[in-house]
Amino acid sequence: MDLNSVYQRLNTGSKKWSHYPNDVLPMWVADMDFPVAEPILQALKGRLEHPLLGYSVAQDALRQTLVTHLANHYDWHILPEDLVFLPGVEPGVNMALNTLAPSGSGVLVQTPNYAPLLSAPANWKLPRVDLPFRADANGQYPTDLAALYKALPSVGSLLLSNPHNPLGKVFDREELRAIGDACVQHDVLIISDEIHADILFDGRRHTPIAALDPEIAARCVTLMSASKAWNIAGMKTAFAVIQNAELRERFNEGRMGLVDSVNVLGLEATQAAYRHGAPWLAHVNAYLQDNRDYLADAIKTRFPGIHMNLPQSTYLAWLDCSALDIEHPQRFFLTQAKVALSEGLEFGDNCGQFVRLNFGCPRPMLEEALLRMERSLQQLRDR
């Protein structure tokens, strides 16, 4: 599999490639510029041999595939009936808040964070309570447990992003245990967005917070999908794991008329990804880790005004451009370098000097983006 080949995606309906003019290199929304794994393509083609595409539901085989994946990869032991299939993680987060968060209760969200997680509480008229991350001297982002303990008594739920977008942080077991235990103590619902769980660098393992303890699991809605790791976001297929039957029932009642069933092809793609997609994913994770290291080295040696901490997961780099002394870094790179990055302010109120760069692309594309950015800064200095 050659991940260095750049695929032409203009005129394919791609959101990433149609949002900006054609001369802009899109390094923003979280999808990768890699072709989908062969077993997934074969499963889709195979399904299309049958010319009927009616309403579909997850079959036992898919449920069993997921149960096995969670057990083998995260030592998380669930039952097939704990799974609820959804057309996306974002709808799942919103459904959980709408149906399970106590009315009017606060929602604790770590900042910066993925924009739809930040905005979700307001969708349901729930106040958002921010819990900021601060990088330590080693470039890690530990949860501020003292601030968490202070905030928990006054909120009804916690929204977790693990692995974290945009910081690329993989939460470790001890940290999750401290967070989970405190949520049990204060009777706080945990909504854990684990969509990036299978993208892991440097030999790391992913820990679902619900896997730590049955008492923690009893208050968890965990959301997962093959969409990020296997690059099938357009399939719009995800799943929730809700081990507490009472929570699951309320969650399912809340979907009525709002959140529909899952796409027929999405179910096929999900099954193929988790069952046969491991070799492809191992190759892609290694490639992404190399891209991450190449990017980090380029930032260090060629961009003295930009700082980046190493992401431990995701193909997203959170770049601190404060030292560039540019009023609006995202707009600068878009207009002057013709490189579209994600705007820091989407992820938090104090993040105007940050941009998020998607390095889930062939190396030549990453090189081109960095070259364009470097030239734009050189031109600025020459002015």
Ligand X SMILES: Cc1ncc(COP(=O)(O)O)c(C=O)c1O
Question: Which of 33, 82, 193, 198 is close enough to bind ligand X by CB under 6 A?
Answer: 193
Q: Which is nearer to ligand X, 165 or 309 (CB)?
A: 165
3-state secondary structure of 382: helix
Burial of 174 (0-12, 13-18, 19+ CB in 10 A): exposed
Give CA–CA dist 161/184, Å, rounded.
Answer: 18
Residue pair 220/192 in contact (Cβ under 8 Å)? The answer is yes
Q: Is 284 helix (H, G, I), strand (E, B) or coil?
A: helix
Q: 212 or 233: whose CB is closer to ligand X?
A: 233
Of 110 and 376, nearer to ligand X (C-beta) is 110
Please, is 50 exposed, middle or buried when counting C-beta atoms within 10 Å of its C-beta (0-12, 13-18, 19+)? Answer: exposed
Minimum Å gap between C-beta 195 and ligand X is: 4
Q: Is 225 in the site for ligand X (CB under 6 A)?
A: yes
* Min separation Cβ 223 and ligand X, Å: 7
Smaller CB separation from ligand X, 100 or 298? 100
| Residue nearer to ligand X on the CB measure, 117 or 369 | 117
Rounded CA-CA distance 369/381 in Å is 19
Min separation Cβ 236 and ligand X, Å: 7
Which residue among 88, 311, 348, 362 contacts ligand X (CB under 6 A)? Answer: 88
The stretch near ligand X (CB under 6 A) out of 139-147, 150-158, 225-233, 303-311 is: 225-233
Measured from the CB of residue 232, what is the shortest distance to ligand X in angstroms? 10
For ligand X, the closer of residues 157 and 227 by Cβ is 227
Residue whose pair of structure tokens reads 């105007």 in the numeric block: 352
Question: CA of 40: how far to CAs of 50, 64, 102, 339, in Å?
Answer: 16, 18, 40, 31
Nearer to ligand X, 228 or 372 (CB): 228
DSSP designation for 334: I
- Choosing from 65, 157, 227, 358, the residue that interacts with ligand X (CB under 6 A) is 227
Establish if 161 lies at the interface with ligand X (CB under 6 A): yes
Pick the stretch among 10-18, 32-40, 85-93, 347-355 that binds ligand X (CB under 6 A): 85-93
Q: What are phi and psi of 4, to 5 degrees?
A: -80, -15
The minimum distance between CB 88 and ligand X, in angstroms, equals 3
What sign for the dihedral angle of Cα 324, 329, 335, 339?
positive
Nearer to ligand X, 227 or 376 (CB): 227
User: Can residue 33 be called a binding residue for ligand X (CB under 6 A)?
Assistant: no
* Position among 190, 238, 281, 373 found at the interface with ligand X (CB under 6 A): 238
Query: By CB under 6 A, is residue 195 in contact with ligand X?
Result: yes
| DSSP run (H or E) holding 316 | strand 316-320
Of residues 25, 27, 30, 259, which one binds ligand X by CB under 6 A? 30
Asked if residues 336 and 192 have their Cβ atoms less than 8 Å apart, the reply is: no
Q: Say how far apart CA 196 and CA 211 lie, in whole Å.
A: 16
Q: Residue with structure tokens 């092809």? A: 265
Cβ neighbours, 10 Å, residue 203: 6
Minimum distance, C-beta of residue 29 to ligand X, in the bound complex (Å): 7
Q: How far is the CB of 229 from ligand X (least distance, A)?
A: 11
Q: Which residue is nearest to ligand X (CB)?
A: 88
Phi, psi of 317 (to 5 degrees): -110, 135
Are 340 and 357 a contacting pair, CB within 8 Å? no
Q: Are 191 and 121 in contact (CB under 8 A)?
A: no
Regarding 358 and contact with ligand X (CB under 6 A), the answer is no
Q: Which stretch binds ligand X (CB under 6 A): 14-22, 42-50, 84-92, 352-360?
A: 84-92
Residues making contact with ligand X (CB under 6 A): 30, 88-90, 114, 161, 165, 193, 195, 225, 227, 233, 238
